[in-house]
Amino acid sequence: MRRFLLVAAMCGAVSGARAADMPDFPSLRGSFIEGPSSTVNWQGGYIGGHAAYGTSNMNFANSTRTIAARLLDGTEMENVQRISEWPIMGKVSAHGEGFGGFVGYNFQWTDVVVGVELNYTHGKFGGSQTGSMSRFFTLPSGYTVGATYEGTARMNISDMGTLRVRGAYAYGSFLPYMFAGIALGQADIIRTARVFGNQVNPAAAPGFQNVPFDVSATDGQYSHLIYGYSFGIGTEVMLISGLFLRAEWEYVRFASSIDTSINTVRAGLGYKF
């Protein structure tokens, strides 16, 4: 019996010594092992390129009004009938495509990412429309007038760029983001107005009983600077060693003689340094 108690005491001493030599695992303290973070480091500069496809929405209403008003300035027709204000054109949508690039810098706080970016697209966006309206009316001077007002307007946007502020949240390898900023563009804007018809007054002096008229003018603005604002959403996914894919939607609104907005979807490839 004494030998058994001696052996048990020696085994207990050895077990205690081994337990004292074991490392202090967190699991033994009742907490979980904290593994390495799975969030990608988006901090730093980046550069890339993209392809875009979108729709231009243009409102050509009143786009030739000022031109027609100058043509008819001081005439009885314009003073009475306000021909330059006749509604001859409206809204048009047209598809276009382009390509470009982007460069920016990200600041990261844990999972929150804020950045600034310069984005540029070269392409073919815009559209055109032609409209006309004819009316018959009698003027206080006694002339009966048959007049037709025609207008043609065209807008082609070849270049546009945005300076953005981005806000994002890193989720593993993904970086969904929102952005807003100012937009600049370069466009050709060509507008033509024409007013023609006849003025008839049998009681007028000979030679003035039937008076035809036909006046027109064109205003062209080439490589014209337009400006506005933009906003949109997108996401990036890190592939490997700083290489990432991008997909986004952007809305751009330009203020000009032709009210224009452009919606584009874009796919891009970039590299973060």
pLDDT tens for each residue of 76-108: 999 999 999 999 999 999 999 999 999 999 999
Q: Is the dihedral of CA 133, 136, 139, 145 positive or negative?
A: positive
* 23 lies in some domain: no
User: What's the farthest any 2 CA atoms get from each other in the chain?
Assistant: 151
Question: Is-contact 113 156, C-beta < 8 A?
Answer: no
* 2 lies in some domain: no
What average pLDDT does the structure give for the chain?
88
Write down the pLDDT at residue 71.
Answer: 96
Which among 155, 150, 151 has a CA at the least distance from the CA of 128? 155
Write down the pLDDT at residue 4.
Answer: 38
* 5 lies in some domain: no
Q: 15 or 42, which is more confident?
A: 42
Write down the pLDDT at residue 39.
Answer: 75
Which structural domain, as residue segments, surrounds residue 159? 42-272
* 13 lies in some domain: no
* 56 lies in some domain: yes
* CATH number of the structural domain spanning residue 137: 2.40.160.20
- Percent of the residues in the chain that have a pLDDT greater than 90, as a whole number: 83
* 4 lies in some domain: no
Which among 16, 10, 56, 35 has a CA at the least distance from the CA of 251? 56
**Cα Rg, the chain, nearest whole Å:** 36
Number of structural domains (the chain) is 1
Write down the pLDDT at residue 99.
Answer: 98
Write down the pLDDT at residue 30.
Answer: 34
Question: Is-contact 116 181, C-beta < 8 A?
Answer: no
Render pLDDT for 125-158 as a digit per residue (tens, 0 to 9). 999 999 999 999 999 999 999 999 999 999 999 9
The set of residues, in sequence order, having a beta carbon less than 8 Å from that of 133 and lying 6+ positions away, is 86, 87, 88, 148, 149
pLDDT at 189 over 70: yes
The length of the chain, given as a count of residues? 273
The pLDDT confidence band at residue 190, using thresholds 50, 70 and 90, is very high
Average pLDDT over residues 200-220: 94
* 180 lies in some domain: yes
Strand, helix or coil at 4? helix
* 65 lies in some domain: yes
- Percent of the residues in the chain that have a pLDDT greater than 70, as a whole number: 86
pLDDT at 27 over 90: no
Q: Measuring CA to CA, how many Å separate 74 from each of 70, 148, 198, 226, 233? A: 9, 18, 18, 32, 51
pLDDT at 262 over 80: yes
Write down the pLDDT at residue 25.
Answer: 38
Write down the pLDDT at residue 31.
Answer: 31
